[in-house]
């Protein structure tokens, strides 16, 4: 049986624990600098990255160290608020992430202005920060020498040559923004306040090659907060070097409110309220002799929580339930929300292979309603254009209603899909899209008789390309008081909007807000709505 280690036990979350990857430049002879471990928190929202770095360095003599970090675009730099590493440690413990050992090895310009642009020069806490953009690497060596002199630093020419060759390599790869961070280091391990860097990047990015300036061996731990999970079966070689080991943890779903305290204020959220966010840890142990930085394509992330298999279903059970022999038990167990994310991926009946994989994981795909239908429900209840249908705060019945539409001629694919889905009723889940204009929840036992009326929806049918949708919605206020509609919506600029609604013959709302019976529409029951 495979053994698993809880991430909280692997991470050295002790009083002075925070490390980060920066290329230190030592300009005094006879001084030894050590960096046994690196830690960083990386948040990515598919457009931008937030990199939170803290540093612990030890020197054989008290001295100043100038560290530099390369970036793919110009970063915003600031001090981290609160205690992000302590808070992320608590979140990791809460989510119960686990490690299983994996080993990977890897083999092997536009218009210019000034050669080097100073984009920021500022004292931030204990950090003397200089952000620059290298436009002409050929003139960078002379600029670097002048920069050191302006700081009162007399650096060894050989050490400067190492810095120059490192920067030259990054510029050649299209990474031309750098941050120089000047700090004081002493004999005792000194914790340097964490800095936050926010920059545009299509890929997840963490600079590793600058660690080559220190050399030796050590540990790199990247705490990842991403719009998906890195799957352990990718086989991609993240790092290189003989004896280099990697441990990739399981991942767990987290929510914007849980990670806000780590990176900043609620007034400028980094993730959308509807974002799927996953927490995962990548841990490297080996030589500081990197050929490449750590980069990972966001598009390759899987949009569900990554888990390790613990054990299979006993063979005696598979004899009674064919196909069950491949089912697996996952560690840690999936939450209801994480299971729904997996169903969203694996329960696609248009992909038989995915569908079978969902069965092996024990996912109930037969009654699954995908997220896009919940988007349509949200659009219906926030529209406020369907007379008699609740809006704002809405309580919906726990199952859909079965319906068959045979009225006005509409798109044949749309009608066929609607009727096929609504032959039977389906259970609804707490998967309604979060929206500031409407709060939707399912009826609960606690509601009892105090909740008057019943609001129900059907499954949602779609046309061929998914740009049009049809749904049935009804509200029953009493035995003879009902209002119901067939509604057609169109998706424009990523949002669903009502374009037609057909009130079903029966009831209407009078001027006093009460439902009256025996209502017969005088005009065509289809009413066009402006988008």
Same domain, 183 and 264: yes
Q: Tell me, yes or no, whether 322 lies in a domain.
A: yes
Same domain, 326 and 472: no
- Residue 450 to residues 290, 410, 454, 457: CA-CA distances in angstroms? 66, 40, 12, 21
Q: Judging by DSSP bridges, how do beta strands 5-6 and 76-79 pair with one another?
A: unpaired
What distance in Å separates the CA atoms of residue 431 and residue 330, rounded to the nearest whole number? 23
Type and span of the H or E element at 277: strand 277-287
pLDDT one-digit tens code per residue, 225-258: 999 999 875 434 556 556 677 788 889 999 988 8
Type and span of the H or E element at 9: helix 7-10
* Contact (CB, 8 A) for 336 and 369: no
Same domain, 381 and 340: no
Same domain, 21 and 99: yes
What distance in Å separates the CA atoms of residue 325 and residue 304, rounded to the nearest whole number? 23
What distance in Å separates the CA atoms of residue 222 and residue 49, rounded to the nearest whole number? 13
Same domain, 218 and 335: no
Angle made by CA atoms 272, 275, 279, in degrees to the nearest 5? 115
Residues of the chain with pLDDT under 70: 1-37, 54-66, 100-114, 125-126, 152, 154-157, 159, 183-193, 214-215, 233-243, 264-267, 309-329, 348-361, 479, 505-531
Q: Tell me, yes or no, whether 259 lies in a domain.
A: yes
Same domain, 56 and 86: yes
Bridge partners (DSSP) listed for residue 116: 134
Radius of gyration of the chain (CA): 29
* Contact (CB, 8 A) for 112 and 227: no
Same domain, 266 and 348: no
Domain end, chosen from 292, 326, 360, is at 360
Q: Tell me, yes or no, whether 308 lies in a domain.
A: no
What distance in Å separates the CA atoms of residue 139 and residue 466, rounded to the nearest whole number? 55
Q: Tell me, yes or no, whether 189 lies in a domain.
A: yes
**Which distant-in-sequence residues (6+ apart) come within 8 Å of 61 by Cβ?**
28, 30, 31, 187
SS (H, E, C) 338-388: HHHHHHHHHCCCCCHHHHHHHHHCCCCCCCCCCHHHHHHHHHHHHHCCCCC
Same domain, 245 and 166: yes
Domain end, chosen from 300, 324, 346, is at 300
**Which distant-in-sequence residues (6+ apart) come within 8 Å of 43 by Cβ?**
49, 50, 52, 225, 226, 259, 262, 263, 270, 271
In this prediction, residue 369 carries a pLDDT of 92
Domain end, chosen from 300, 325, 351, is at 300
Q: Is 62 helix (H, G, I), strand (E, B) or coil?
A: coil
What distance in Å separates the CA atoms of residue 410 and residue 487, rounded to the nearest whole number? 12
What distance in Å separates the CA atoms of residue 299 and residue 466, rounded to the nearest whole number? 22
Write out the residue range of the structural domain in which residue 402 sits: 371-528
Q: Tell me, yes or no, whether 309 lies in a domain.
A: no
What distance in Å separates the CA atoms of residue 37 and residue 17, rounded to the nearest whole number? 9
What distance in Å separates the CA atoms of residue 266 and residue 268, rounded to the nearest whole number? 5
Same domain, 201 and 322: no
Q: Tell me, yes or no, whether 366 lies in a domain.
A: no
Bridge partners (DSSP) listed for residue 295: 205
CA 179 to chain centre: 26
Peptide bond into 179 cis (omega under 30): no
- The answer to whether the Cα torsion of 279, 285, 288, 291 is positive or negative is negative
* Contact (CB, 8 A) for 271 and 347: no
Q: Phi then psi for 477, rounded to 5 degrees? A: -95, -15
Same domain, 40 and 69: yes
* Contact (CB, 8 A) for 509 and 388: yes
- Residues of the chain by 3-state class (helix, strand, coil), percent to 5: 25, 35, 40
Same domain, 416 and 295: no
The conformation of residue 433, written as its DSSP 8-state character, comes to P
Q: Tell me, yes or no, whether 305 lies in a domain.
A: no
What distance in Å separates the CA atoms of residue 85 and residue 69, rounded to the nearest whole number? 20
Tell me how many domains the chain contains. Answer: 3
Tell the residue number behind the tokens 């069965």, with chain if given: 359
* Contact (CB, 8 A) for 425 and 403: no
Type and span of the H or E element at 119: strand 116-124
DSSP per position, 24-45:
EE--STT--EE--EEEEEEEE-
Q: Tell me, yes or no, whether 306 lies in a domain.
A: no
In this prediction, residue 467 carries a pLDDT of 95
In this prediction, residue 465 carries a pLDDT of 93
Same domain, 282 and 333: no
What distance in Å separates the CA atoms of residue 300 and residue 243, rounded to the nearest whole number? 27
């Amino acid at each position: 049986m495979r053994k698993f280690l809880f991430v909280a036990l692997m991470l050295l979350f002790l009083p002075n624990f925070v490390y980060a990857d920066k290329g230190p430049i030592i300009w005094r002879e006879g001084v030894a600098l050590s960096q046994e471990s690196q830690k960083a928190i990386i948040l990515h929202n598919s457009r931008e990255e937030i990199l939170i770095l803290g540093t612990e360095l030890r020197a054989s003599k008290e001295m100043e160290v100038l560290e530099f970090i390369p970036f793919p675009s110009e970063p915003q730099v600031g001090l981290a608020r609160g205690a992000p590493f302590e808070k992320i440690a608590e979140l990791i413990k809460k989510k119960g992430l686990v490690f299983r050992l994996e080993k990977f090895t890897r083999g092997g310009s536009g218009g210019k202005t000034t050669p080097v642009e100073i984009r920021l020069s500022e004292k931030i806490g204990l950090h003397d920060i200089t952000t620059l953009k290298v436009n002409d690497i050929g003139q960078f060596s002379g600029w670097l020498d002048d920069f050191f002199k302006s700081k009162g630093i007399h650096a060894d020419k050989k050490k400067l040559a190492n810095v120059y060759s490192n920067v030259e390599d990054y510029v050649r790869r299209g990474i031309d923004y750098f941050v120089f961070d000047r700090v004081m280091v002493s004999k005792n391990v000194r914790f340097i306040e964490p800095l936050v860097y926010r920059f545009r990047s299509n890929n997840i990015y963490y600079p590793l090659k600058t660690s080559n300036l220190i050399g030796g061996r050590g540990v790199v731990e990247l705490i990842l907060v991403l719009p998906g999970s890195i799957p352990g079966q990718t086989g991609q070689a993240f790092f290189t070097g003989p004896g280099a080991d990697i441990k990739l943890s399981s991942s767990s779903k987290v929510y914007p409110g849980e990670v806000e305290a780590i990176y900043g204020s609620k007034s400028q959220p980094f993730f959308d309220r509807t974002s799927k966010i996953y927490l995962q840890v990548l841990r490297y142990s080996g030589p500081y002799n990197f050929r490449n930085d750590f980069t990972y394509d966001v598009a390759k992330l899987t949009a569900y929580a990554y888990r390790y298999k613990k054990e299979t279903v006993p063979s005696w059970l598979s004899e009674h339930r064919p196909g069950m022999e491949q089912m697996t038990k996952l560690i840690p167990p999936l939450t209801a929300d994480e299971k729904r994310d997996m169903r969203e991926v694996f329960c696609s009946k248009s992909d038989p292979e995915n569908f079978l994989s969902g069965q092996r994981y024990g996912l109930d795909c037969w009654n699954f309603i995908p997220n896009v239908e919940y988007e349509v429900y949200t659009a219906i209840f926030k529209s406020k254009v369907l007379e008699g249908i609740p809006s704002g705060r809405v309580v919906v019945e726990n199952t859909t209603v079965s319906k068959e539409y045979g009225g006005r001629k509409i798109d044949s694919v749309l009608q066929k899909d609607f009727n096929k889905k609504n032959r039977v009723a389906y259970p609804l889940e707490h998967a309604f899209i979060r929206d500031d204009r409407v709060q939707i929840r399912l009826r609960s036992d606690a509601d009892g008789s105090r909740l008057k009326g019943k609001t129900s929806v059907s499954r949602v049918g779609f046309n061929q390309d998914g740009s049009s949708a049809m749904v049935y919605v009804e509200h029953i206020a009493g035995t003879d008081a009902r209002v119901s509609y067939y509604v057609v919506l169109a998706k424009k600029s990523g949002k669903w909007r009502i374009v037609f609604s057909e009130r079903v013959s029966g009831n209407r709302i009078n001027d006093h807000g009460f439902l009256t019976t025996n209502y017969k529409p005088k005009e065509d029951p289809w009413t066009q709505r402006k988008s």
